[in-house]
Amino acid sequence: MCSVCQDGHPAGDRRQPIVFASGLLLIVACVQTPADELNTAPAGTGRTGADYLSQVPPGTTPVRFAPDNIKPDGSDYPVPRGPYFGQSPPGMTPEVFATGIVSGDTYFEHSSPSFSPDGRAVYWSVLTVHNGRRDEKIMFTELRDSGWTKPQVAPFNKEHHGGGLAFSPDGKLLYFYSARPFHRDEDGFTENIWALELDGGKHSEPFKLDSVISSHEHSERSPSFSSNGTMYFDRGRAGTIDIYRAKHINGQYQEPEKLGAEVNTSASEYAPCIAPDESFLVFSRFVDDESGKSVKLYVSFKRADGSWTKARCLGDKLPLCNRARFPGLSPDGKYLFFCAHKDGRPDVYWVDARVLDELKPDELK
């Protein structure tokens, strides 16, 4: 399993993306590369070199990325208006979200969109390749009187790898994972959770969360918050990733606790998405099935006593979720977002979150 794209070809099947000229970066389906050439990782990437240069599942449609804007010259950028870029809300069948803006040929999406509580700012991350080296960039756009601004690379992310974004419940802080400045040990780079303050669309200098959350021994990624400030996140190394939560009491995060066997297994679970009231948790899990190794979405529901139900695969109701990851929720909790591959193409999808009720155990209905 590729520990970077977290989907598709096995990690032992060494592959390398190719960059084409023309001023644009082109991410192509990974091609075979001798293992001895894959011995370094990009600075600040948070992965070891051999796994980190495995990029895109075979058969994926090549996608282009212009480093600063989603269009090379911006001349044909359509200015969308209204909530969710003017797109009509989905029903119980997933639909591609924001084609040509968040989803489209200009990106290889690497997260669901994270909306500010008022819905007027959106952040997400994309994979890029430059000079044969992979990076992850954070994109953002804001809704103004004239419509949504043209997506740009976030100013705090132009020089650093980053992703896994989440707003604090009050919208004053933006959290993300990054490897700035990185620690280097025998296992490679570690990613930790960082945050910055937001004030009128301006970003403060990012700061790393203290050692209760951001450790040196592991990588911590993909924060998600309940309305009371409890943080859910993943922690570990490739192949041994689990989901944790840390309560926020008197302005301080408490010692994280690893969720139980209903959620965490001998496989790797990552990219948690917690409901605002903590009534359910959606997350990604590596699995082995008849098609080989893949990533699927799972959901677990919280009982009245605080325990969790055994996680069920969303693919039981939504086949598209049998090859999907990076779940997210709209600020009001009405819509579920996720990244999925369909017909060899990666896109961000959204669906009415009530579809999760169909996976709820009878004891909770």
Residue 134 has a pLDDT of: 73
Residue 291 has a pLDDT of: 66
Residue 181 has a pLDDT of: 65
State the Cα torsion 200-202-205-210 to the nearest 10°: 40
Which domains are assigned to the chain?
15-77+94-364 (2.120.10.30)
Residue 120 has a pLDDT of: 94
**Cα distance between residue 319 and residue 335, in whole Å:** 18
- 338, 356 contact by CB (below 8 A): no
**Cα distance between residue 102 and residue 318, in whole Å:** 22
SS (H, E, C) 188-244: EECCEEEEEEEECCEECCCEECCCCCCCCCCEEEEEEECCCCCEEEEEEECCEEEEE
| pTM (predicted TM-score) | 0.79
Q: Coil, helix or strand for 309?
A: coil
Residue 312 has a pLDDT of: 97
Residue 364 has a pLDDT of: 93
Burial (CB < 10 A; 0-12, 13-18, 19+), residue 32, is exposed
Residue 101 has a pLDDT of: 87
pLDDT in tens, the chain (365 residues): 343 344 443 333 333 332 222 222 222 223 222 222 222 333 333 332 223 223 333 333 333 333 333 343 345 666 788 999 999 999 999 999 998 888 866 567 789 999 999 999 999 999 877 666 677 889 999 999 989 999 989 999 877 788 999 999 999 999 999 987 644 443 446 789 999 999 987 899 999 998 899 887 889 999 999 999 999 999 997 678 999 999 999 989 999 999 999 999 999 999 999 999 999 999 999 987 766 678 999 999 999 999 999 999 999 999 998 889 999 999 999 999 999 988 878 899 999 999 999 999 999 98
Beta-bridge partners for 115: 122
Tokens at 344, concatenated: 């060899």
Residue 322 has a pLDDT of: 87
Residue 53 has a pLDDT of: 25
Q: How many CB atoms lie within 10 A of CB 22?
A: 8
